[in-house]
Structure 1
Amino acid sequence: MSSSTSRSGYRYACVCAANFNRSMEAHRVLLENGFDVKSYGAASRVKLPGASRDDPNVYDFDGTSYEEILRDLRSQSEDLVKNYEERGMFDMLVRNAKIKRCPERWKTHRERGETFDVIVCFEERVFDLVVMDLRAAGGARDAALVVNLDVRDSYEGSAEAAPRALRLCERLERCEEGWEGEIDSIVDEFEREEGLRALYCVCFY
């Protein structure tokens, strides 16, 4: 598993649907740059491309390891294996297994008491699920910034988005008085320089 000495003042979570591609590439990049970061999936189960849209590969969060998923995909038909290779899925799984054991579900770990200062999502539907979950949990003590960067769910899309997520997080780290008083200007500057819309809101634990 990868590890890095944290240099960040905040705790970060990266969240996509399956904790397979977008959140994992951002997890890798932030971790390698010294951030205190974890990653999660917001769906109920891990769904990956399969024989057809109606026949995906489905796995449990917090149980099936990335290495087990890799073995399962490699054991399938020759045509499917070729398709997985072309999509970069095997490369993703090898990368993921170096970071942590298995995909983890956001809601499960939030209910176990995990808390974060900044939560970066990579799909608006995921952003909505995270915000709804935090608001349903209630609380008024700890503020969490939830940000969404819409990212195409492909190997290339995640590789392009992760450095952008890093640059956003670095901006937050540079806030002398905390992000709460500067978030509007930070997001405006980020959108101007990156050409990428950043949807955000503040929730409380």
Structure 2
Amino acid sequence: MEAHLQLALANLPTISFGTGSLVRLPGPTIHQPNVYHFNSTTYSAIHSELATQNTPLYTQNGLLNMLGRNLTIKSYPERFQDWVPGKPRLEHAGDQGAKGTESGVVDVVITCEERCFDAVLDDLHNKGGKLNRPVHVFNVDIKDNHEEALVGGKAILDLALSLNEAAGRARDEAGDGGRAWDQGNREGFDEKVPDILAEWQERWPNMPALWSLAWF
């Protein structure tokens, strides 16, 4: 969600998802996580419940601060596997940063853990690419703590801005008012993505990255 925040603050249309079966947050012990459902339980409700449960513990481990940040970004956690590419998403109250993505397609997916990268690719494969529209899937491995998330968010923002700049040039060069791009014809951009990633990796050598081309 830190990456979502940084992307949204840079005015890049952004939506965010989890890939697990449930939302699992730290609990009083490693064997007692707090578990919630995707797509329905709001960040506000989770924040209130945990604050009531044990304010000192969840303040000390940063969980309440993280949830407080999240509820200013979007209403509730969503699951990638439940998203239907091509189906317009409903306007979620408080879902700041989602503007421009409501048509149901995106050009880039960025994950922050290799298992999530694999889950996204598996899900897109299972959905069958019915729209025949390319999507670039990246993984930027980030450890799940506040400090690493801040640095990782900056790295992801740098990658997104580089991709966005190249896409803008390719769209302008097409000279058709963006119609070909909107229909998924983006050869000029798609061919440059490996070079963009290589240049980004030189700037962020401590951020392991993966990339794959998939289809909606």
* Superposed pair shares fold, TM > 0.5: yes
Describe how 1:118-157 pairs up with structure 2 within 5 A: 118-139=108-129, 141-157=132-148
Q: How many residues are treated as equivalent by the alignment?
A: 179
| TM, length-normalised to structure 2 | 0.79
The aligned counterpart of 1:96 is 70
Aligned partners of 1:107 and 1:155: how far apart in 2? Answer: 26
In structure 1, the residue corresponding to 2:139 is in which secondary structure? strand
In structure 1, the residue corresponding to 2:72 is in which secondary structure? helix
Amino acid at match of 2:113: E
The aligned counterpart of 2:12 is 35
Change (3 A) 1:70 1:112: farther
Q: CA deviation at 1:136?
A: 1.0
In structure 1, the residue corresponding to 2:214 is in which secondary structure? strand
The aligned counterpart of 2:159 is 168
Aligned partners of 1:123 and 1:72: how far apart in 2? Answer: 27
Aligned partners of 1:55 and 1:112: how far apart in 2? Answer: 38
Aligned partners of 1:184 and 1:76: how far apart in 2? Answer: 47
Q: CA deviation at 1:169?
A: 0.5
1:141-190 CA-partner distances (Å, limit 9, x unpaired): 21000000000011212111111100001110121225311111111111
Change (3 A) 1:27 1:94: same
Q: CA deviation at 1:83?
A: 2.8
1:51 correspondence with 2:28:
yes
Higher strand share: 1
Which of structures 1 and 2 has the bigger CA Rg? Answer: 2
Amino acid at match of 1:193: R
The aligned counterpart of 2:175 is none
In structure 2, the residue corresponding to 1:42 is in which secondary structure? coil
Q: CA deviation at 1:57?
A: 0.2
The aligned counterpart of 1:193 is 203
Q: CA deviation at 1:112?
A: 7.5
- Where in structure 2 are there 5+ consecutive unaligned residues? 88-103, 171-187
RMSD: 1.5
Q: CA deviation at 1:111?
A: 6.1
Q: Is the 8 A contact 2:85 2:105 kept in 1?
A: no
Amino acid at match of 2:197: V
